[in-house]
Amino acid sequence: MDSHWHVHALVPGGGPSLSEPEEWKQASAPERAANSDGFYLVDAISLRELFRKTAIAHLKRLRQS
C-alpha cells in the first residue's frame, strides 16, 4: 500500500465578531456556492499541493542529513 498523507482539522462553525464586542458570528457558505454541501473554508487543491511540496522538501532534507 502506498503512503497516503492527509490532514484532518476541526474548525468551528463561527467565531467572535470583529465589529461587535461580545457578539458571535455564524459561518456560512459564500453566495456563489449553490449550497453549503462541499463548501470548504480553504482551497483544498492549493492546500494539498503546498502540503505535499513542504513534506517532500523536509523528507529530502532529512535524507541528506
Residue 44 lies in a domain: yes
Q: What is the pLDDT of residue 33?
A: 63
At a CB cut-off of 8 Å and minimum separation 6, what does 14 contact?
A: 24, 25, 26, 27
Domain range for 50: 40-65
- Rounded to two decimals, the pTM is 0.43
Instruction: Please give the share of the chain, as a percent, with pLDDT higher than 70.
Output: 77
Question: What is the CB-side half-sphere exposure of residue 24 using CA atoms within 13 A?
Answer: 5
Q: How would you write the chain as a 3-class SS string? A: CCCCCCCCCCCCCEEECCCCCCCEEECCCCCCCCCCCCCCCCCHHHHHHHHHHHHHHHHHHHHHC
Residue 26 lies in a domain: no
Residue 53 lies in a domain: yes
Q: What's the structural domain count of the chain?
A: 1
pLDDT tens track for 13-39: 788 888 988 899 887 766 666 655 666
Q: What is the pLDDT of residue 8?
A: 82
Residue 25 lies in a domain: no
Residue 57 lies in a domain: yes
